[in-house]
Amino acid sequence: MLLFKKKFMDAIRSGEKTQTIRLWNHCRMRTGQRSYIPGAGYIRVLSIEPIEVDELSDADAVPDGFESAEKLRAELNSLYAEQLAAGHQAYRIRFELMSPDEQQRARAERQEKKRRAREATKD
């Protein structure tokens, strides 16, 4: 699951925001993985790559929903001050929102998985 601030939801749902930068002590996702964004739905992870925050350009900022690299870095510094200080790696995660049909299948699969888990605990 990927969490986002409310201010990004419209851009994610419209397909304008197609990437996020996360700082982790180790990579927590993989290319091809399906994930979920509350308020937007299921996404497909297209790629994940380690990046250097200081090397982000304006072209990197736009698909992340920012006008400039300066504004993106300011947001990252605000959100991830502790992780930056601890030397965590920055990762660029490119994603796409799944189609309505794919969303429906993903919800059905999730419900079935929950049902099976409930039944397994009854035994």
Using pLDDT thresholds of 50, 70 and 90, give the confidence band for residue 122.
confident
Q: What is the pLDDT of residue 57?
A: 96
pLDDT tens per residue, range 2-56: 999 999 999 999 999 999 999 999 999 999 999 999 999 999 999 999 999 999 9
d(CA 81, CA 85): 6
Domains, in order of start, for the chain: 6-122 (3.10.400.10)
Q: What is the pLDDT of residue 123?
A: 66
pLDDT tens per residue, range 76-115: 999 999 999 999 999 999 999 999 999 999 999 999 999 9
DSSP string, 57-106: -HHHHGGGT-SSHHHHHHHHHHH-HHHHHTTPEEEEEEEEEPPHHHHHHH
- Report field, pTM of the whole predicted structure over 0.85: yes
Q: What is the pLDDT of residue 29?
A: 96
- Helix, strand, coil shares of the chain, percent, nearest 5, are 45, 25, 30
